[in-house]
Amino acid sequence: MRLDDFKVLTFDCYGTLIDWESGMAEALQPLVAKAHRKLSRDEILEAHARHESLQQLTTPAKRYSELLAVVHKRLAEEWGISSTWDESLAYGRSIKDWPPFADSVAALAYLKRHYQLVILSNVDNESFALSNRKLGVAFDAVFTAEDIGSYKPSPRNFEYMLEKLRQRGFEKSQILHTAESLFHDHTSANDFGLATCWIHRRHAEGGFGATMNPGTTPHIDFRFTSMEGLVKAHRLASGS
């Protein structure tokens, strides 16, 4: 299996292309500053993952920005902090401020010359549009949780994406699913027989940060610690 065997790269966005952990940590600072004890970055992210994952299961049709507001409220309750709903809503709107990883823009510009680029993201359309401005590339298709009515790792999201791509003439064997989260993406991609590329952004920190522990490690076909690493490997494989 080679990187230049594929015609489509399907991407998770947040955690893979957009540095959501830095964005979350920054946007949660007003809340964290009111905590009665010091909370480490990983404590914050892991608590966020717990509340987000449960909320996505409980209210799968809720728009992501609105779901984040509920997560903010639950974090305040867990940490015994007084917080207003307006503050929670402001956190939900912070997605627009989450930065891209330093290598995302250049990597996507390069990959666009060689592949169809597709987004499969646990986000709402308005929020993704704001993030997409930062990424600077025209994706060939964008499939969001808002479109589908559920959140990854639900199989519905992958079924929806694969059917839409099949209608455009692409089979599973032509698709490489590219993501950081083992929990949200790689386990389900394995279930559907998709080839996978792990952009292991958290390789230096260890743990799972803002995503849940998948329990077992899924099969991975390609692993890189950055999008830049993926580009370098493609250049080598294709001689470009």
Strand partners, 178: 11, 197
- Please say whether the dihedral angle defined by the alpha carbons of residues 86, 87, 91 and 97, taken in this order, is positive or negative: positive
pLDDT in tens, 116-153: 999 999 999 999 999 999 999 999 999 999 999 999 99
Q: Virtual CA dihedral for 182, 130, 151, 31, nearest 10 degrees?
A: 80
Residues with catalytic roles? 12
Q: Which of 158, 149, 155 lies closest to 60 in space, CA to CA? A: 149
User: Confidence band (pLDDT; 50, 70, 90) for 239?
Assistant: confident
Length of the chain (residues): 240
Global confidence as pTM: 0.94
CA dist 144 and 167 (Å) reads 18
Distances from the Cα of 216 to the Cα of 12, 17, 47, angstroms: 20, 24, 20
Look up residue 3 and give its two tokens.
């990187």
Give 214-229 pLDDT, tens digit per residue. 998 999 999 999 999 9
Domains of the chain (ranges; CATH) run 3-20+99-238 (3.40.50.1000), 21-97 (1.10.150.750)
